[in-house]
Structure 1
């Protein structure tokens, strides 16, 4: 090929590449195709660098108390103290005693979730039940500015409602039961839960196809033993059996979220009973999970829940041992992408090798998740190993993943104030 023709060909290809790249990054195009490109790259990485099952914990050495102050595992964002918008008025619904054999609340307008957006999408539908007019993207802009962020935790959803829909009340509790869900539904209050689910396809060759997912429950029927639910991923309104829901729900400590009108507060208070006190609710959940472990000692989720409930009480040694047992039995590959109690427990018991192993495992998944929590705790592990530069880089990465992440801001400030 003549030199001139060759150079013209190269120039043409470069121009095409530049134009194609520019078009790809146009917001409408990128919104539509970025996730498809990510799927292809994820599968390729899974072939080139296979991921295996989550490693088990090493035998713990003598636990040493940690002396670095860190944010507590409770939400750290500022919560608006007063409502910002008047809510609609209605008569508080009485609680039937006993509750009816079936309840079917009206379903709010459906919204199909965007990529990695089941939390904001499900919460958006929940708020629409009460007349809210926003969508999942309004919520995501606050709680997960980066579209690639694959997790929104319960505390972040609570933060959004209290600060951006403050005319409604929101609470969450753990250790819920099927009867708990039914009694709130019978009082006219939909219930949002987080559960484990099986994906429809593998995203990498060794994918165990397990992921976390939010659902909105709008009714139940004792005759068929089924809940009515709205699933932002699959169908507008569908059903699940009591047994199937319980099986999937246990992976997230039986957590449930309640959004309700201010005039329903007394009803919710009555229905909660002893669960109104958050410490009492956690202690009950801890005892429930211990009892479950005694009856089914090979269930990794029950041991994980034991650990998570101990973390709440800052009982990190007990928590770490429970998490070790859960890992020994076997946990899903993505488990630490959604729940971070192990990071707390390993850091506070000075088991830094386990902290590094756990965070690195998540960050090296073929999907390369943008997990600000894993980056944060990997940074704290590096800090404990004496690598302040590496720690700062991880904290900055966590803040890039979520610019509103206060724990990352705190970590950077800690480095500055403790040279």
Structure 2
């Protein structure tokens, strides 16, 4: 065979090999395209975006649901009886979410301790001016039929930035000159980070924004929203969000008015707009189901001298963590009876029971939470659910189901977006530590911090395993 022919054959073989290797690597390559660039393509080059997204859908499709539990919870408890019972004592503090640190280092299976307080944070943000500050007046009784807070403008969010954008809307309404970029520089130093939790927003306001405080609560209702609006406080809620082309997401929305006669709520939507300042209108009946998907969670920004007013508007039970989660659990348990196939009701029930476990230290609540999450997984949780809410990890951690944590984390990490959620790596690190993989746990904590360098729980956990802190 002539040398030239051999060379051609060799080049063809090498070319085929390169094509095969390229095809094998394609899923990893396309998933690595930063989300903000994909959004830029959608907005600026629709034709090219369609081609890109078509390739991604073929080689790296998003799962339709998170995996169901392979081994249902042992030692099952009666959830209805558990919800009806009155918890005794409070040993934990769930006010800042499940801030768990692993305090032991390397050789032994680590224990888990919950910090009693968050550390003091240090960073400067613009000092807001005092305009549009709601007066600390008693709640009107009866409530006005219609309330609209004037001057609530809209902030168009940058990529996946609804958390910082909505907080900016509220602070700007109060008179602050703070920008979306100012807020995001702390809450989302990595622009690809897919989630800012409500407790992180409250922490940021309380520790970073001079002259303001914030509180996050779950288990709100329409009447509570109207009480706050009537008293002059905007309300930011966390909600589900269904987009026809990409499925279910989480989102924040700033409410600034209502009309009982028309049964409408008025809001500013940092993603959908409209961006002319005219606001969005949602019927009560359309709004409530999507709010329920996040356990009717909301936060309020206020001035320190208004704390008593905020507490009065919420009511004593809502201002008490344990009573609040008891209420949430009762509502969710009733919903699971009325709508046994409602995946969000089961998830909400699991969340409430798990948070009650954090507050009381009673194992039965974690067990009940794990059972509720198992049911939600059986029904089919949206694939992005654990981008935003993380209590299943905590329930499984407290019931020694470490492999369930790894399975859920790995399913979330299969997508480019899921790899930009710091809590996923943090909880996987806990599970790996308990499974004896200390090196893997340290890597997971480090990756969590690479997603969000300001996610201090991961730093606590990393320090505890490396023996540099407690």
Residue 17 of structure 2: aligned partner: none
Residue 248 (str. 1) matches residue 252 (str. 2): no
1:11-410 superposed matches below 5 A? 33=37, 35-36=39-40, 44-52=55-63, 53-60=65-72, 62=74, 68-70=110-112, 72=114, 76-78=118-120, 88=130, 91-202=135-246, 209-235=247-273, 236=275, 237-273=279-315, 274-314=317-357, 315-410=365-460
Q: Deviations over 1:16-66 (max 9, x none)?
A: xxxxxxxxxxxxxx99857436977666343213332211112336479x9
Distance 2:387 2:233 in 1: 29
Contact 1:195 1:214 in 2 (8 A): yes
Deviates more, 1:377-386 or 1:86-95: 86-95
1:246 deviates by: 0.8
Contact in 2 for aligned 1:196/1:212 (Cα 8 Å): yes
Secondary structure class of the residue paired with 2:201: helix
Measure, in 2, the Cα distance between the counterparts of 1:366 and 1:86: 36
1:174 Cα deviation after fit:
0.7
**SS of residue in 2 equivalent to 1:369:** helix
CA contact (8 A) 1:151 1:337 kept: yes
8 Å CA contact 2:134, 2:231 repeated in 1:
no
For 2:239 and 2:35, the matched residues in 1 are separated by 27
- Report the 3-state secondary structure (helix = DSSP H, G, I; strand = E; otherwise coil) of the residue aligned with 1:313: helix
Q: What's the RMSD between the two structures over aligned residues?
A: 2.8
SS of 1:266's equivalent? helix
Summarize the Cα distance change of 1:90–1:389 in structure 2 as closer, same or farther, 3 Å threshold.
closer
Q: CA deviation at 1:214?
A: 0.1
How big is the shift at 1:233? 0.6
Distance, in Å, in 1 between the alignment partners of 2:60 and 2:170 is 40
- Normalization by structure 2: what TM-score? 0.75
2:466 equivalent in structure 1: 416
Number of positions where the alignment pairs a residue of Structure 1 with one of Structure 2: 380
CA separation in 1, counterparts of 2:424 and 2:52? Answer: 21
Q: State the alpha-carbon separation in 2 of the partners of residues 383 and 42 from structure 1.
A: 37
Question: Unpaired runs of 5+ in structure 1?
Answer: 1-29, 203-208
Instruction: Tell me how far 1:86 sits from its aligned partner.
Output: 8.2
C-alpha distance after superposition, 1:263-285 (max 9, x if no partner): 43332222111212222112111
> Once the two structures are superposed, what CA deviation does each residue of 1:120-156 show, in whole Å capped at 9, x if it has no partner?
0000001111111111111111111100001000011
Contact 1:355-1:377 at 8 Å conserved across structures: yes
Q: 1:373 to 1:73 in 2, by over 3 A?
A: farther
Question: Contact 2:154 / 2:269 at 8 angstroms: preserved in 1?
Answer: no
Closer/same/farther in 2, CA of residues 330 and 145 from structure 1, 3 Å limit: same
* Cα pair 1:189 1:260 within 8 Å, conserved: yes
Shift of 1:244: 1.2
Structure 1 residues 34 and 299, CA gap change in structure 2 (3 angstroms):
closer
Aligned partner of residue 252 in structure 1, secondary structure: coil
Gaps of 5+ in 2: 1-33, 43-48, 77-101, 103-108, 358-364
Worse-superposed segment, 105-114 or 66-75:
66-75
How much has 1:119 moved relative to structure 2? 0.5
CA distance in structure 2 between the partners assigned to 1:94 and 1:239 by the alignment = 27
Whole-Å separation in 2 of the counterparts to 1:175 and 1:318? 19
